[in-house]
Amino acid sequence: MQPIFRNVAIIGKYQGSRARPAPDTLCHAIRAIAAFVHALGCELTLEAETAANTHLSDYPTRDLDGIGRHCDLGLVVGGDGTMLSVGRRLASHGTPLIGVNKGRLGFITDIPLESYEATLAPMLAGEYEEDVRPLMHGRVLRGRDCVFEALALNDVVVNRGSTAGMVELRIEVDGGFVANQRADGLIVASPTGSTAYALSAGGPMLHPSIPGWVLVPIAPHTLTHRPIVLPDTAEVVIELASGRDASANFDMQSLAQLKQGDRVVVHRSPHSACFLHPVGWSYFATLRDKLRWNEGGS
């Protein structure tokens, strides 16, 4: 089978920093996958920080923006956190991504490392399932000024400080007042993020094809504050009415400290991440496997 992706980039546990070298197991995995993909006839590029962290110098390197401009495919070796980071950065370029799981759960990096050869060969030849996940765009407004903004694939979370008490949040949807809520925080999660923090806080799981978000309170003072499913065309505004040391987190990878009166504004980004899965991939099979639904069953 001849690959349809001619220029493939490998990104491994993206750090954004050369401060910490990658562990030997990751270096070995990336070296083996790179040699395998190159042997299939693909031109290979290493993401620059990956090359620096793994000390691999056998292939040309580009930063993530360069990969988005010049490569047909990104092959991400790591866990879901790595895929989230790379997905946000490459979404504006429309670069499809395949994930080889070197982490723990692997909801979106779904190819087991031990079977990458049998799985990647047909995928690179065009046998795959496409899975498009819209992004969220969040801004922190202080008065009329935007003091922080970021994209998120999973969720935007307003959290109380680690040593502070509850926060009071004023919530609006599409300009209409919803409620004042006293809680430890509030999660705005996409279908992708509905199986992450939102699930731990008692929210529902949303199928990836649903164009919606879920608004999930974290330990609310009033127990009748329950998760709400919203259309992803909505604009959600969360104002910090009171509380100290609160923050806004974007995929738990970008952080903004909040002051009283700050507003976190969330709307759907025009960009989407494109994940490729093996033929036969099933969302429900992923849930069964990762959430261990069948353990103890007959």
Among the ranges given (96-110, 114-128, 172-186, 252-266), the one the predictor scored with the smallest mean pLDDT: 96-110
Q: Is 53 exposed, middle or buried (0-12, 13-18, 19+ CB in 10 A)?
A: buried
> Confidence band (pLDDT; 50, 70, 90) for 17?
very low
Which helix or strand (DSSP H or E) is residue 23 part of? none
Query: 3-state secondary structure string, 27-64?
Result: HHHHHHHHHHHHHCCCEEEEEHHHHHHHCCCCCCEECH
Specify which residues 252 forms β-bridges with. none
Give the HSE-up count for residue 107: Cα atoms under 13 Å, Cβ half-sphere.
18
pLDDT in the model for residue 23 = 65
**What are phi and psi for residue 210, nearest 5 degrees?**
-80, 125
Name the residue with tokens 């959430």: 291
Does 2.60.40.1930 match the CATH number of domain 7-126?
no
Per-residue confidence band for 19, with pLDDT thresholds at 50, 70 and 90: very low
Q: Which residues are catalytic?
A: 80
pLDDT tens per residue, range 245-260: 899 999 999 999 999 9
- CATH topology match: 7-126 vs 136-270: no
Give the residue with greater pLDDT, 188 vs 289: 188
pLDDT tens digits for 59-101? Answer: 999 999 999 999 999 999 999 999 999 999 999 999 999 999 9
Q: CA 230 → CA 75, 188, 286, distances in Å?
A: 33, 10, 24
For residue 39, the tally of other CB atoms under 10 A from its CB is: 9
Q: Please give the share of the chain, as a percent, with pLDDT higher than 90.
A: 80
Q: Give the Cα separation of 157 and 160 in Å (integer).
A: 10
Question: Per residue in 159-211, pLDDT tens?
Answer: 998 777 899 999 999 999 999 999 999 999 999 999 999 999 999 999 999 99
Strand partners, 230: 213
What the block records as the tokens of 19 is: 């401060």
Q: How many residues does the chain have?
A: 298
Q: Which residues, including other chains, have CB under 8 Å from residue 44's CB and lie 6 or more apart? A: 8, 9, 10, 34, 37, 38, 59, 60
**CATH superfamily for domain 136-270:** Probable inorganic polyphosphate/atp-NAD kinase; domain 2 (2.60.200.30)
The domain limits of the chain are 7-126, 136-270
Residue 117 has pLDDT above 70, yes or no: yes
Residue 260 has phi, psi (to 5 degrees) of -55, 135
Global model pTM greater than 0.85: yes
Chain centroid to CA 233: how far?
19
